[in-house]
Amino acid sequence: MSEEPTTDAAADGGQQDGGQTVVRRDRFSGGPARGFLSSMDADDRIFEADLAVDRSHAVMLAEQGIVPEDDIGAILVALDDVEEAGFDALPAGEDVHEAIESAVIERVGPAGGKMHTARSRNDEVATCIRYRLREDLLDAVEAVNLLRETLLAVADEHTETVMPGYTHLQPAQPTTVAHYLCSYEGQLSRDAARLLDAYARTNESPLGAAAFAGTPFDVDRERTAELLGFDGVVENSMDASSARDFLYEGVAALAGVATTLSGLAEDLVVFSNKGLVELDDDYASTSSIMPQKKNPDTMELVRSVAGDAAGGLQGLLTTLKGLPRAYNRDLQNATTHAWETVDAVVEATEVAAGAVGTAHWPEEALADAAGEGFSTATGVADLLAMHGVPFRTAHEVVAQAAKAAERTSGETASDAGEADYEALDAAAREHLGESLDEAVGEDAVKAALDPAHSVAMRDSRGGPAPEAAEATLASATEDLEHDRTLVGDARDALAAAEDELAAEVADYV
Ligand code: ARG
Q: Residue 28 belongs to a domain with what CATH number?
A: 1.10.275.10
Same structural domain, 191 and 317 = yes
Q: Does ligand 1 come within 6 angstroms of the Cβ of 122? A: yes
Nearest to 257 by CA among 364, 165, 359, 145: 145
Same structural domain, 140 and 280 = yes
In angstroms, what is the span from residue 223 Cα to ligand 1's centroid? 24
Q: Does ligand 1 come within 6 angstroms of the Cβ of 331? A: yes
Atom of ligand 1 nearest to the CA of 96: 1
> What percent of the chain clears pLDDT 90, i.e. is strictly above it?
81
pLDDT at 357 over 90: yes
From 47, 330, 332, 333, mutation site for ligand 1 pocket: most ligand atoms within 8 A of C-beta: 332
Q: Does ligand 1 come within 6 angstroms of the Cβ of 332? A: yes
Integer Cα distance of 492 and 464 in angstroms? 39
pLDDT at 497 over 60: yes
Helix (H) or strand (E) holding 17: strand 15-17
Minimum CA distance residue for ligand 1 atom 4: 332
In the 8-state DSSP scheme, what is residue 2?
Answer: P
Integer Cα distance of 348 and 62 in angstroms? 45
Total number of domains in the chain:
3
Same structural domain, 277 and 393 = no
Residue 380, pLDDT score: 86
Minimum CA distance residue for ligand 1 atom 3: 332
Per residue in 358-387, pLDDT (tens digit) is: 999 999 999 999 988 788 888 889 899 999
In angstroms, what is the span from residue 23 Cα to ligand 1's centroid? 14
Q: What proportions of the chain, in percent to the nearest 5, are helix, strand and coil?
A: 70, 5, 25
pLDDT at 14 over 50: no
pLDDT at 418 over 80: no
- Chain-wide mean pLDDT for the chain? 92
Domain assignment of residue 473, yes or no: no
Pick the more confident residue, 445 or 124. Answer: 124
pLDDT tier for residue 25 given thresholds of 50, 70 and 90: low
Q: Residues 295-316: what's their mean pLDDT? A: 97
Q: Residues 94-100: what's their mean pLDDT? A: 96
Q: Does ligand 1 come within 6 angstroms of the Cβ of 95? A: yes
Atom of ligand 1 nearest to the CA of 331: 12
In angstroms, what is the span from residue 289 Cα to ligand 1's centroid? 50
Q: Are 7 and 25 in contact (CB under 8 A)?
A: no
Q: Does ligand 1 come within 6 angstroms of the Cβ of 38? A: no
Q: Does ligand 1 come within 6 angstroms of the Cβ of 126? A: no
Same structural domain, 90 and 143 = no
Q: Which residues of 217-238 are buried (b: 16+ CB within 10 A; e: fewer)?
A: bebbbebbbbbbbbbebbeebb
Nearest to 449 by CA among 387, 404, 383: 383
In angstroms, what is the span from residue 122 Cα to ligand 1's centroid? 6
Residue 26, pLDDT score: 61
Q: Does ligand 1 come within 6 angstroms of the Cβ of 123? A: no
Residue 7, pLDDT score: 36
Integer Cα distance of 158 and 152 in angstroms? 10
Integer Cα distance of 293 and 300 in angstroms? 15
Q: Are 233 and 204 in contact (CB under 8 A)?
A: yes
| Sequence-distant contacts of 464-472: CB under 8 A, at least 24 apart | 464/165, 464/174, 464/175, 464/176, 464/178, 464/179, 466/159, 466/160, 466/176, 466/178, 469/155, 469/159, 469/176, 469/178, 469/179, 469/182, 470/159, 472/179, 472/182
Pick the more confident residue, 28 or 112. Answer: 112
In angstroms, what is the span from residue 323 Cα to ligand 1's centroid? 15
Residue 287, pLDDT score: 76
pLDDT tier for residue 9 given thresholds of 50, 70 and 90: very low
Paired sense of beta strands 20-22 and 162-167, if any:
unpaired
Q: What is the CATH number of the domain that holds 245?
A: 1.20.200.10
Same structural domain, 105 and 139 = no
Domain assignment of residue 477, yes or no: no
Domain assignment of residue 455, yes or no: no
28-37, 134-143, 157-166, 188-197: least confidently modelled range: 28-37
Q: Are 445 and 380 in contact (CB under 8 A)?
A: yes
Minimum CA distance residue for ligand 1 atom 1: 95
Same structural domain, 173 and 298 = yes
Minimum CA distance residue for ligand 1 atom 2: 332
Burial-class residue 428 by CB neighbours within 10 Å (0-12, 13-18, 19+): buried
Domain assignment of residue 106, yes or no: yes
Residue 13, pLDDT score: 40
- Name residues whose C-beta falls within 8 Å of residue 117's C-beta, 6 or more positions apart in sequence: 61, 66, 67, 217
> What percent of the chain clears pLDDT 70, i.e. is strictly above it?
92
Q: Residues 132-157: what's their mean pLDDT? A: 98
Catalytic residue list: 168, 287
Domain assignment of residue 263, yes or no: yes
- Residue 246: domain span: 123-154+168-179+187-368+485-500
| Local structure of 326: helix, strand or coil | coil
Minimum CA distance residue for ligand 1 atom 12: 332
From 28, 47, 121, 319, mutation site for ligand 1 pocket: most ligand atoms within 8 A of C-beta: 121
pLDDT at 146 over 50: yes
216-225, 239-248, 394-403, 475-484: least confidently modelled range: 394-403
Catalogue the E-assigned strands of 34-192: 162-167, 170-176
Domain assignment of residue 10, yes or no: no
Q: Does ligand 1 come within 6 angstroms of the Cβ of 338? A: no
- Name residues whose C-beta falls within 8 Å of residue 13's C-beta, 6 or more positions apart in sequence: 23, 105, 110, 112, 113
Integer Cα distance of 78 and 73 in angstroms? 9
Q: Does ligand 1 come within 6 angstroms of the Cβ of 319? A: no
pLDDT at 409 over 90: no
pTM: 0.91
Residue 355, pLDDT score: 98
pLDDT at 393 over 60: yes
Integer Cα distance of 313 and 322 in angstroms? 16
Integer Cα distance of 325 and 184 in angstroms? 41
pLDDT at 340 over 70: yes
Domain assignment of residue 51, yes or no: yes
Q: Does ligand 1 come within 6 angstroms of the Cβ of 349? A: no
| Local structure of 162: helix, strand or coil | strand
Atom of ligand 1 nearest to the CA of 125: 5
Torsion sign (Cα): 355, 357, 358, 360: positive
In angstroms, what is the span from residue 80 Cα to ligand 1's centroid? 24
Q: Please give the single-letter amino acid code of residue 446.
A: K
Domain assignment of residue 283, yes or no: yes
Same structural domain, 207 and 296 = yes
| Local structure of 492: helix, strand or coil | helix
- Name residues whose C-beta falls within 8 Å of residue 270's C-beta, 6 or more positions apart in sequence: 169
Same structural domain, 317 and 363 = yes
In the 8-state DSSP scheme, what is residue 281?
Answer: G
Q: Residues 181-186: what's their mean pLDDT? A: 98
Same structural domain, 394 and 493 = no
Same structural domain, 251 and 302 = yes
pLDDT at 335 over 50: yes
Same structural domain, 396 and 305 = no
Residue 119, pLDDT score: 98
Same structural domain, 141 and 106 = no
